[in-house]
Structure 1
């Protein structure tokens, strides 16, 4: 007898594999089997009747900054561009400590579960105090989210031509020592891992050439993923030309980062030839549609990149550039941006869903186990909760309706075979306390007390 049987669902199991009125079985923490209405199904200790709703793989968030929800919708930066809002927020983020990092991570993860996300990254690059990575992993353990944390860093302070104040910058030796510690303590290479680590100097305008090379060397030694922001803003081009005498993408290549182990956030402004070189090198990218629109700095032509062979995932990014961490929203906005850019025939809901599942998994180097629901995959899935009013009349295509109608929430979210959201309600017993503690930390960080 299997552990969980979900029946009477429209199953989106993988690209080009869907079953109407089907069932899917979970045994322990893996997908056991799936079938159609006429196929014999196993008995389950728990049976969930999906009542015709859509079931998809859990969405994969390939770029986030969880600590930033402590400054969510921060009013003084409402009209700021990228460099300006960073300069205004860095002094606030210098107040981060373990408590603030834990509660911001906890709330982020629960919010992501409600938006159908079962695996998330966190690009944690502000380290005014030691131990902040540990707090993020502690939150992941408590919430139950599958988690890849990127040990980010900044080495170039304002006095050295960077954007951040000295309080959030570290020297190269301190950074690399902590990277080694975090990898040894939290990076699980085993199949079905719940925690993994990547390395990620935040950007070329805040990280030295030495730290870029040191992270590359360590990633090759430990077989880790590499992550950074790249070609996000036109001001970045100006900075790179003045400091390095080349474009951001050319600097990325000179540092040796054009490798299949790297995925980059945004990648809005590479030239066509630069994009072609990144694709040939096997670099993946993640689009953050809501962030791109909120800050008004453009957005990559992701369908063109996909057609040219690049793996493209989706991410929520952090608060201040986007203040709603919903992967459903990112998938919808990715579809709308794509259609607005290239016309209605250029992108449909299944393209966006593929980016939010298989695409994100490829960015993280986790493609064999997550992002799909074939037998043997990790048991990470979502039964979507629709509104009878919003869905009235949507009778022909449940996947297209999933993004065109809504808004949608996860009715049931299962991670590693465990139900973490049920009937749209998160099941974490510590949530109320985490919200109370988060409110205290947000007021402290924003200097409102």
Structure 2
């Protein structure tokens, strides 16, 4: 197997159980796996040798919730300064014009931004399948992830409850439930790899309480557990969602999920802003995870996650960028900073440190995805997923006092090198496996076409 030696690092921030650091340290990698790490390791050469002098090395971050297809609907004027339901109804009119090549290009753009911000593993939630377009759209995202070199956790989303049946999405972007379940089986059987250093794992992910039926929730849970894959959905994001569930179903969102089999240590929810104390305690006991998406929650005015209560109750909390259009960025390092600032404001300046927020983006997210045996920290036996920052950059001058917090509190949210499974995917701040400029031109043209097509049909 190919070997990699990273040597002479200014520091290695491991995020392991003891929070070890290795100033002047080295890492030796065989294939995807870290074989040695520390200041004195018995390796002096390898197939690839990187001199990390002046560089600080961090574990690759894990994005626990995203919607890559939304990359083409960022900065849309009519979708600004609105709350979730109005934001969705505005953008559904554009998303219904998605083509397979749009999904592929938007995934390349979003994944590229994430890799350039130190994110090495991406969980994506894809749930829009317009009528008359191939139902194999998630395949395009997987192809893009493989091409660009990201570790990928796509979740096969679904919507079956259109406006004509009392749901929020237009009928043009929902599917029949039998078709959803059949294609979900296909995606799992075709792409899911449960091995430790897998590059693709698949999850099952009905979109939300207001876009799927309870029958689909039950059948999706049964299907996921029959294959041993994880389950994901939006939950407790807004007060509107809570009111929808109480008024139409006579239950709070988590109660509805529990009734339909959507609670347990194989389940994680996106957002979790409006869980109450009793629900948080229950999630802690059963092992449910939550993907915290601070920028999206702030942008849409959804509220602030009760993160201190969750952590104290043993809820697994990871970090997510959320859809590019509700952010409007795909930068996980920036998201760590937003998390830190938000909870300083909401819970006080001693509630969460920058290191606590980095933990959520690394170890926390790996636990949420059930992948902590390989991801989230730099240790022997784990994946060589990492990023480096060059401390000689101008924006770090006068800030070299705390290596853990440095890229969160100071400088611009970008990295100099990203490595996934021992392979360099970002070097000197640029993507290695694709031509960024060519993709940017193609992507903007596709986004413009979708926008203009939607305008003609309104």
User: Normalising TM by the smaller chain, what interval?
Assistant: over 0.9
Which residue of structure 1 aligns with residue 20 of structure 2? 17
Alignment equivalent of 1:158, drawn from 147, 156, 163: 163
Which residue of structure 2 aligns with residue 296 of structure 1? 301
1:153 touches 1:200 (CA, 8 Å); kept in 2? Answer: yes
Which residue of structure 1 aligns with residue 211 of structure 2? 206
Are 2:289 and 1:284 equivalent residues in the alignment? yes
Are 2:126 and 1:121 equivalent residues in the alignment? no
CA pair 105-278 structure 1, distance change in 2 beyond 3 A:
same
In the alignment, the residues of structure 1 paired with residue 54 and residue 311 of structure 2 have an alpha-carbon distance, to the nearest angstrom, of 31
Which residue of structure 1 aligns with residue 105 of structure 2? 103
> For this pair of structures, how many residues does the alignment match?
448
- Write out per-residue CA displacement over residues 390-437 of structure 1, whole angstroms, 9 at most, x where no aligned residue: 222223211122211111311110011110110111112344432232
Counterparts of residues 269-418 of structure 1 (less than 5 Å):
269-386=274-391, 388-418=393-423
Counterparts of residues 133-282 of structure 1 (less than 5 Å):
133-282=138-287
Structure 2 spans left out of the alignment, 5+ residues: none
The 10-residue stretch of structure 1 (397-406 or 346-355) with the greater mean CA deviation from structure 2 = 397-406
Shift of 1:171: 1.1
In the alignment, the residues of structure 2 paired with residue 91 and residue 225 of structure 1 have an alpha-carbon distance, to the nearest angstrom, of 30
Between Structure 1 and Structure 2, the one with more strand by share is 1
Which residue of structure 2 aligns with residue 5 of structure 1? 6
In the alignment, the residues of structure 2 paired with residue 386 and residue 206 of structure 1 have an alpha-carbon distance, to the nearest angstrom, of 47
2:344 touches 2:352 (CA, 8 Å); kept in 1? Answer: yes
CA pair 29-296 structure 1, distance change in 2 beyond 3 A:
same
- Write out per-residue CA displacement over residues 109-133 of structure 1, whole angstroms, 9 at most, x where no aligned residue: 1111001000001100101122101
Q: Secondary structure at the match of 1:399?
A: coil
Shift of 1:387: 6.1
Which residue of structure 2 aligns with residue 66 of structure 1? 68
Structure 1 spans left out of the alignment, 5+ residues: none
1:58 touches 1:117 (CA, 8 Å); kept in 2? Answer: yes
In the alignment, the residues of structure 1 paired with residue 171 and residue 7 of structure 2 have an alpha-carbon distance, to the nearest angstrom, of 53
2:148 touches 2:434 (CA, 8 Å); kept in 1? Answer: no
The 10-residue stretch of structure 1 (89-98 or 19-28) with the greater mean CA deviation from structure 2 = 19-28
In the alignment, the residues of structure 2 paired with residue 389 and residue 435 of structure 1 have an alpha-carbon distance, to the nearest angstrom, of 27
In the alignment, the residues of structure 1 paired with residue 428 and residue 58 of structure 2 have an alpha-carbon distance, to the nearest angstrom, of 16
In the alignment, the residues of structure 2 paired with residue 122 and residue 427 of structure 1 have an alpha-carbon distance, to the nearest angstrom, of 22
Instruction: State the TM-score, normalizing by the size of structure 2.
Output: 0.95
1:198 touches 1:225 (CA, 8 Å); kept in 2? Answer: yes
Shift of 1:354: 0.7
Are 2:38 and 1:35 equivalent residues in the alignment? yes
CA-based RMSD of the aligned residues comes to: 1.6
Which residue of structure 2 aligns with residue 427 of structure 1? 432
- Write out per-residue CA displacement over residues 91-146 of structure 1, whole angstroms, 9 at most, x where no aligned residue: 11011121110000111111110010000011001011221011111111111110
Shift of 1:40: 5.2
The 10-residue stretch of structure 1 (376-385 or 39-48) with the greater mean CA deviation from structure 2 = 39-48
In the alignment, the residues of structure 1 paired with residue 13 and residue 46 of structure 2 have an alpha-carbon distance, to the nearest angstrom, of 21
Instruction: State the TM-score, normalizing by the size of structure 1.
Output: 0.96
In the alignment, the residues of structure 2 paired with residue 279 and residue 354 of structure 1 have an alpha-carbon distance, to the nearest angstrom, of 18
In the alignment, the residues of structure 1 paired with residue 218 and residue 46 of structure 2 have an alpha-carbon distance, to the nearest angstrom, of 51
